[in-house]
A and B are shown apart, each in its own frame.
Chain A
């Protein structure tokens, strides 16, 4: 910090206009008051329930009466539970469907809307199409899930009827009832739901990319693909990270679509940790075990978040 020359310093009689007004109480602690509402909510809605959940995970409890302390028994049982590991394997598929696929497809769709539709047909056309792609995000999952279960129904479902109509009846399947393909069907529905989110974020990010860079690249003879890959994508890297992080967390937490579409079936083929936890909490009245699943899931999400943020910070620092 440079020191101002003496002549510029204000005299005692004439306080500088730029001098900050004195605050009662002094110090930065005064601002803490403004953090109280948020801190209280965080404490009451997140931290205290999570701490209670961790506590419950060390007990055997049916949800009523007195919990019985059993230490790490729930965790030992959990790590030996094949259904628990299967639910995490399914979650990997859902991360592909909810994070990787929509991010990849979202980049392409956003670029097409921004560079091609927006420039050729005007920004309004791009906005309308963007809204159409975003619509599944706005639909209540209960509605979307029921509509999709009709579409995918084995008898009288729209998808099988369409395949029949175009002469591909041999490809008709029991999309949600066959354990070999149910997870892929759910992944398809989730990718459809999720696509709009990265498209909107990436299109907003693309407006930040300096047109001069793209122009210079074009003058240097770079193809559209070259400009997109070497200028646009690096330009919206923060958005890509945010989308990947939030979508991965959403995939790990996914519950609604599974509840509406398959209830974890057929025969556990689409079960995921959040639904598995729910089943133990409310249907099997094994609250301690359900709490252990929820704790493991939370820790995993925190680790994933820390990893993403670290990678992002490194890239920014580098």
Chain B
């Protein structure tokens, strides 16, 4: 090969490999923002209002908003934040496996100083802060602030009021009353629980059952690695065996193992099931979609601890060239005006006070959240402790639904990846 050909080859290879100049130069007149909330969701509406407010307060600065998918950000954030293409601010998931991992790698800006000077920590209930702070291992609950949430979420029980009334069933106050209500539906030939075994909903039922026998120290050991976790302790054993029992008693259909969360939600909205245990993020869909029957929500009966946490949070990439603008934007999303927009649209604002919602269903949802937050009852989500634990949980609950593994085998399956992750982070 001639020298000329070789030189051409090297130059071309460098070009193709992307070893040229960067295209990610920052523009002080633009705030590059990414988030993945749908335009009709409470958060989407609130943040549209926040963008308008920000541009009004910062004449000459344009917010360049790029709508991303949850999966898109989840899968590519570490690589994107390591590149010149990172935005100035983005919405990101909370927990050890997500914000914790990025903070540990030094990809996120430390927000502690801003939190102190702007008083953001005064706006939220104590256990909403847990998901904002991470230690050097990337474990939540203590250390520096790397994320700022501006809404909250929790697992609640949605119910079809008409179906309850038709059988004279009252809103249950205890787990025994809850199971009695489900027995009444089964006796009438109705499967009581809409469950999505193919995605997150089933594991939340399992976790709620385990939480009924747990305390705050149990949650801290599991979620924050404050001590050893025994997956065959009373709480986990009760959760797994009761879940299997609920399948056997036909509270949960064995055919729900492959059902996606969306299909579960639709089946409830269409009036096919009287009860659905899932997150408060469904509120907007319920309001918009249910036309043929009365519905409402109540807290999972009898639990002091309940799956829930702050919502996803704003993070500022370490490489952001417009950090001050990003902090101003976060400040605006936490302002009473924007938090009221969030509440009015069916979301749960993070800051207390503000104008109560006029919609009774939204008010009930917010009141229940205040009850939980006031009792230090938020226990986060079952898939948080380890990266990839979501799939482990989905697979485990599918086995309980299909009966392909005993509760004890399922708990062994949960224990192994958890222990591996603990070993990896040195927790």
Contact = CB atoms under 8 A, between A and B. Distances in A.
Interface of A: 25, 29, 32-33, 36-37, 39-41, 43-44, 48, 60, 62-65, 149, 153-155, 174, 176-179, 182, 262-268, 279-280, 282-286
Contacts of A283: 75, 387-388, 390-391
Nearest to A60: B424
Contacts, number: 128
Interface in B382-414: 386-388, 390-391, 394-396, 398-399, 401-402, 404-405
B198 interface: yes
Interface of B: 1-2, 5, 8-9, 12-13, 16-17, 74-75, 78-79, 81-82, 97, 101-102, 104-107, 197-198, 253-260, 263, 267, 272, 386-388, 390-391, 394-396, 398-399, 401-402, 404-405, 417, 424
A177 B388 contact: no
Given A63-B79, A174-B255, A266 B5 contact: no
Contact of B101 (A44, A62, A267): A62
Given A29-B1, A266-B257, A44 B13 contact: yes
A62 B388 CA distance: 12
A56 to B, nearest CB: 13
Contacts of A63: 78-79
Contact of A268 (B81, B102, B104, B395): B395
Contacts of A40: 9, 12-13, 16
Contact of B105 (A25, A44, A62): A62
Contact of B2 (A25, A264, A284): A25
6 contacts: A64-B82, A149-B260, A154-B256, A174-B257, A178-B257, A266-B395
The interface residues of chain A, by DSSP majority, are classed as loop
Contacts of B1: 29, 32
A276 to B, nearest CB: 10
Q: Which 5 A-B pairs have the closest CB atoms?
A: A284-B388, A177-B258, A154-B255, A177-B257, A44-B16
The interface residues of chain B, by DSSP majority, are classed as helix
B390 A267 contact: no
A60 B257 CA distance: 33
A280 B386 CA distance: 12
B293 to A, nearest CB: 18
A48 B387 CA distance: 28
Given A64-B82, A177-B402, A36 B9 contact: yes
Nearest to A36: B9
Contacts of B399: 179, 266-267
Contacts of B254: 174
Contact of A267 (B12, B82, B263, B395): B395
A168 B301 CA distance: 41
B268 to A, nearest CB: 12
A182 B257 CA distance: 11
B198 A263 contact: yes
B398 A266 contact: yes
B58 to A, nearest CB: 31
